[in-house]
Structure 1
């Protein structure tokens, strides 16, 4: 039977068997934790498959399935929120002996990265925030559709159209794969429990206070696609305004998938940023 590439190594974190992927070797550069987004059927591998090998040539990187997603054990109580995600991720780092690390947060993962960096800044080396949640914004129709996903092949095709500006990336084969992922046992149940209507409250619940963001001591790279229909580009500009040590790269001809649609440039920018002296 063919091995599912989405299943990697596992470790106990916050009492849950946690699935993760690793690339690269320990070095003088602090390792990076790659935090995936919150789409239906998402996993760390689906999110970071084009980035793990390239970034692993520059530094040690870890990509976990965050609690409630992918192939990490699901909690019986199905209660989710920033506190639980933050506890799970920090205990994941502790289980692997990672005292200090950079965080690369995609979308929902960006809010989690901000939450960790503002509550325990001493643990974080650098931040990369891409298509990030974490500042106030009005729920977009795109994000409403993502969080309100009801499993069907047509619904998944529609979501992939939202995520990618380059429609050549949105093949029937990819839609079938992501749909199949979204209906694996337990996947849709946990996903549906995370962001029920009214969904603006979940955007608000993942917002980090401005004063906490202004106090961030970390060098920060903000990335966003100009054509992003899920998270507004204004989020990137707001983060650039707030974060003292920030730089920003906006990708033209790019939707919500900067790490996929512009993988080579993404890998170079992020690799350079995380490894520079």
Structure 2
């Protein structure tokens, strides 16, 4: 059964999508304007429902989860929210799947709580040491609400232009408009500082004890493969990589069936 609800986490509301039954998997979305847990992960959560219990929150500042008072968000805020959320839902141990910004949060969470995080899947990951702000990530964070901004953003995220449909643009434009006020506080210019905030030091990555699967698109322009993946391969103690050819920043959308098989196999191993 799939449904959404708002959970009290240390006195703050966190909106979550939950689906399925079985071992718990925390699904963390990326940082694009208009992104939500359900928008990013509903299809994946429903596909995994026969074997796992998926939890896909709106992270602070996205969707229906507000930022803490006086906060601009950031890695510490998102990492600090994740573990208490899973505890509030009764999950003592769990795997974490994160996309882009969410992948950096997943790795940070695994380093902070090696006793709770059993596996990590980092998709189109941010967080690599010495990463820089790509032109496409800069443009994505700066995308204005509305159809034109939504279409430009989707074209940067996805390699296949056939996926940038009028329906997809309309849906993202509506979500961008709904979340515009909160998002304006998250990544204002100059934006290189927010990449630095999401960068994990080598010493932190070395504390990740869980097995890590890196999943990346070979043509990812938002987090280019060489800069974003190779440093993680060097720094993480237990890591493997799957790169999708003919794929941009969102493998779970461009290669959904293959991505879900890969994810299910890794989580079940």
Q: Secondary structure at the match of 2:159?
A: coil
- Are 1:251 and 2:247 an aligned pair? no
What is the DSSP-based 3-state SS (H/G/I as helix, E as strand, rest coil) of the residue aligned with 2:185? helix
1:212 aligns with 2:195: no
C-alpha contact 2:93 2:116 (8 A) present in aligned 1: yes
Whether contact under 8 Å (1:7, 1:71) holds in the other structure is no
* Cα RMSD (Å): 1.5
Instruction: Deviation per CA, 1:240-269: give whole Å up to 9, x if none.
Output: 222121111000111011111111111111
Question: What is the alpha-carbon distance in structure 2 between the residues aligned to residue 241 and residue 166 of structure 1?
Answer: 30
- Asked whether the 8 Å contact 1:78–1:190 carries over to 2, the reply is no
* Counterpart Cα distance in 2 of 1:74 and 1:122: 27
From the superposition, tell whether residues 79 and 109 of structure 1 become closer, same or farther in structure 2 (CA, over 3 Å): same
| Aligned ranges 1:164-175 → 2 under 5 Å | 164-175=158-169
1:183-198 counterparts in 2 under 5 A? 183-184=177-178, 187-198=179-190
Partner of 2:176: 182
Q: Distance in 2 between matches of 1:146 and 1:15?
A: 32
Between the aligned partners of 1:177 and 1:40, the Cα distance in structure 2 is: 12
Which of 19, 31, 46 matches 2:15?
A: 19
Give the gaps of 5 or more residues in structure 2.
none
Which residue is 1:3 aligned to? Answer: none
Q: Distance in 2 between matches of 1:160 and 1:270?
A: 23
The aligned length equals: 266
Partner of 2:91: 98
Distance 1:208 1:73 in 2: 25
Which TM-score applies when normalising by structure 2? 0.94
SS in 1 for 2:115: helix
Q: Distance in 2 between matches of 1:100 and 1:33?
A: 10
1:80 aligns with 2:76: no
Offset at 1:66? Answer: 0.7
Q: Write out the 4+ residue segments of structure 1 that deviate beyond 6 Å after TM superposition.
A: none
Q: Deviations over 1:199-255 (max 9, x none)?
A: 111111111111221232111100000111111102122212221211110001110
Q: Distance in 2 between matches of 1:182 and 1:138?
A: 25
CA distance in 1: counterparts of 2:198 and 2:71, whole angstroms: 18
